[in-house]
Every structure is written in structure tokens, then in C-alpha cells.
Amino acid sequence: MSRDGIERPGAQEWVPSGGGLDSLRTAARDCRGCELYGPATQTVFSKGSELARVLLVGEQPGDQEDRRGEPFVGPAGRLLHQALGEAGIDPQDCYVTNAVKHFRFTPTPKRRLHRTPDVIHVEACRPWLSAEMALLDPEVTVCLGATATRAVLGPSARVLRDRGQLFPREAPPGEPAMRRAAWTTVTVHPSAVLRADDRDTAQAAFVADLRVVAAALAPAG
């Protein structure tokens, strides 16, 4: 969808050129780049500073994120923050965002059921993620689950095959030259840990992947 009424999904026309994170955050409130803005409460943009050393990319906001307007504040977020702590990653060093910035759900009488975004939603929302990635200069980018992995690394990456490995991050075309050595890595989504039959084992493996991130961070200072 676009302002001229032609079916052409995509956030691009809402993304301001120039400006920092604040201008992105403000502009994203009005995005109509795909139909997901309609039933959702609000755009959930990101949390964290431009100076973050770790960029964490999730899938899309969940029910609580949609209500509160902040990423990873529901059950998956609590698990993520606990795992980051166990891995020795300082939350102050993290910037947290999602591949898709509106909550996609199926309404039911009792609750709004999470619905995985389609490729078309990830593609429509990509201009926001690209703009964030162009502003930040993280040492490690962490893709949480399949949607984020696909959004950042493309369709050939595989979460279970590639998890816990560090891939050199190249500056995409149009992105300013990177100021520091940078890596991209992949792990499962914290919601998958919450759903796992063997929760303790799944959580330990998730923390192990995040320890790889912690080890890749050059000592601060």
C-alpha cells in the first residue's frame, strides 16, 4: 500500500533520510507500509542506544509489547534478559529491535494469538531495519529465530545449522563503512526456549550461543 493507492507494500516512503534514531522512532509511528498497522495498537520500534555494541533482532512484537510499545517486555523478553545476564552481556550494551514492527495476531474471544509474519511483511518492514543497521555500528548482530535470521542474512541461513557461529558482517551497499570489526550470529528465538519440551536444556543452549557473543566483544575501554 502507498499514499498514491497503488498496491506496493513497503515502509520506504515513511523512512526519513538523515537524522538519528529519534527521528526514525517518531516517523515509524505513522508507518502504513503494510496492513499490519491496522489491527495493532501501535508501532513497536526498538530499545537501546546508537552506541550499542550488540544488536539483537527479534521477529515482531508480541501481545504485551504491542500494548506497552516496547520490544521484549513480555515472557520472551524476560527470558532473553535473563539469558543475556547469564551470558555476561550488559543490557546497557544492547540495542533490541524486531524484523517486523507491528504485532500480527489472530483475535480470539480470550486473547490475541500470535501469528508469524509472512515474507511480505518482513520485506515491507525491512527499510526500518536497514535504517537502524545503517545508524548503529554494533560489534555483534544477533538474529533471534528464523524470521530475524532470514531478514538479516537472507534465505540460505539456517538457525539450527548456523546457531552459535560468528559470520563476518559486511557493510551492505549504501551503509557507511563500519568503524569496528563486526560479526553476525544466529540463535533460537527465546519463545522457542519457552515452548521447548526440555526447557532447561534449551535454555542452556541459548545461553551458550549468547556466551559466544560475549566472547566476541572486545574488552570495553
Contact set with ligand SF4 (CB under 6 A):
11, 28, 31-34, 36-37, 43, 100-102, 121, 124-125, 128
Among the listed residues 165, 170, 125, 123, the one whose alpha carbon sits nearest the alpha carbon of residue 143: 165
**Beta carbon nearer to ligand SF4, 47 or 121:** 121
| Binding of residue 117 to ligand URA (CB under 6 A) | no
Task: Map grid coordinates 540463535 to a residue.
Answer: 187
How far apart are alpha carbons 44 and 82 in whole angstroms? Answer: 21
**Beta carbon nearer to ligand URA, 2 or 82:** 82
With contacts defined by CB under 6 A, name the span among 16-24, 59-67, 126-134, 167-175 that binds ligand URA. Answer: 59-67
Q: Which of 10, 33, 61, 138 binds ligand URA (CB under 6 A)?
A: 61
Q: Which of 10, 62, 117, 138 binds ligand URA (CB under 6 A)?
A: 62
Q: Which does 183 bind (CB under 5 to 8 A by kind): ligand URA, ligand SF4, none?
A: none
How far apart are alpha carbons 58 and 40 in whole angstroms? Answer: 17
Amino acid at 149: T
Question: Which uninterrupted H or E stretch holds 94?
Answer: strand 94-98
Phi-psi domain of 68 (left: phi exceeds 0; alpha: psi -120 through 50; beta: other): alpha
Q: CB–CB of 167/211 below 8 Å?
A: no
| Binding of residue 59 to ligand URA (CB under 6 A) | yes
Q: Which does 103 bind (CB under 5 to 8 A by kind): ligand SF4, ligand URA, none?
A: none
The residue count for the chain? 221
Q: CB–CB of 178/137 below 8 Å?
A: yes
With contacts defined by CB under 6 A, name the span among 33-41, 67-75, 82-90, 167-175 that binds ligand URA. Answer: 67-75
**Interface ranges with ligand URA (CB under 6 A):** 58-62, 65, 71-72, 74, 76-77, 98, 191
